[in-house]
Amino acid sequence: MTRPWQEETSRPFRRFLSKVPELTVFFWIIKILATTVGQTFADFLGDTVGLGLTLTTVVVNVALVVALCFQFRAARYIPGLYWLVVGLVSIVGTLITDNLVDNIGIPLEGTAVVFAVALAGTFTAWYASEKSLSIHTIDTRRREAFYWLAILLTFALGTAAGDSAAENLGLGYATAAIILAALLAVVALAHRWLGLGAVLAFWIAYVLTRPLGAAVGDLLAQPRVVGGVGLGAVATSLAFLGTILAVVGYLTWTRRDAPALNAQRYREVFGRAPGPPR
């Protein structure tokens, strides 16, 4: 018996399926958890394993390039592969910020401005080329390239802005997490009730979830004497990683977040609405 999602990914429909998952609650859960795991794994390679910042950057960048090659070659969205790339992008985004601050000496505020300008430039070029910034239309390699570049810059921007706010404002982990969660709620409400566009709301939320994930991770991992729960970085990372693997496994089996057919682009190419697969 053929499952619906298997029919949808058959030719000619496969060409018009986004390579990005649908925005379910699972998407945001994994994204927030991946932020913490990415940050702690970078620290693990650099400090515990002893690779140092420079060698860790080289190793993770090579891993990201390899994973992206498989991601671009894939004909459809594959949960395990997609979220592996997100996790590696999270690490690389953190390492880029760390290199600019620690090795080059650019302050966090300046780094945040650089990434904000770079992200704005990416969005401008993306829209000029594709006439849309929607993640529901990531169904060509050029659009996918713009998407992953934007994702990388949002992680780097979130790292720089979050670390800068933490240092300058002196917020505790719990307070920072509450404030960031409140900001996300404001974005959601603005989208729901005040007409904030879905595309803009998504990208704002994507940037905010990076420092939120870091604040939650620090809250759980750091000792009680500095305002944390005291679980430790290893226990927190393993708990988060286990949750990610469980959710990704669930999505792989159920395809609950499988992207829908991009009927609009299908009509643009064929001049008619998509019919049943044949």
pLDDT tens, residue by residue, 176-211? 889 999 999 999 999 999 989 999 999 999 989 988
Structure tokens at 45: 């390679």
Structure tokens at 122: 């990416």
Rounded Cα distance between 158 and 99, Å, is 15
pTM of the model: 0.85
φ, ψ dihedrals at 226, nearest 5°:
-110, 15
Of the ranges 44-53, 199-208, 264-273, which one carries the lowest mean pLDDT score?
264-273
Is a pLDDT exceeding 90 seen at residue 129?
Answer: yes
Rounded Cα distance between 96 and 74, Å, is 27
Q: Give the tens place of pLDDT for each residue, 158-177.
A: 888 877 777 677 777 788 88
Q: Are 233 and 40 in contact (CB under 8 A)?
A: yes
Rounded Cα distance between 49 and 170, Å, is 30
Q: Any idea what DSSP says for residue 259?
A: P
Domain ranges of the chain: 17-165+233-264
DSSP string, 149-171: HHHHHHHHHHHHHHHHHHHHH--
Q: Give the tens place of pLDDT for each residue, 29-40.
A: 999 998 888 777
Q: Which residues contact 262 (CB under 8 A, 6 or more apart)?
A: 16, 17, 18, 136, 137, 139
- When pLDDT is averaged across residues 243-248 and rounded to a whole number, the result is 95
Question: Residue 250 class from Cβ within 10 Å (0-12 exposed, 13-18 middle, 19+ buried)?
Answer: middle
Ramachandran quadrant class, 195 (left: phi over 0; alpha: psi -120 to 50; beta: rest)? left
Structure tokens at 253: 């089996």
Helix (H) or strand (E) holding 171: none
Q: Which residues contact 128 (CB under 8 A, 6 or more apart)?
A: none
Q: Which residues contact 276 (CB under 8 A, 6 or more apart)?
A: none
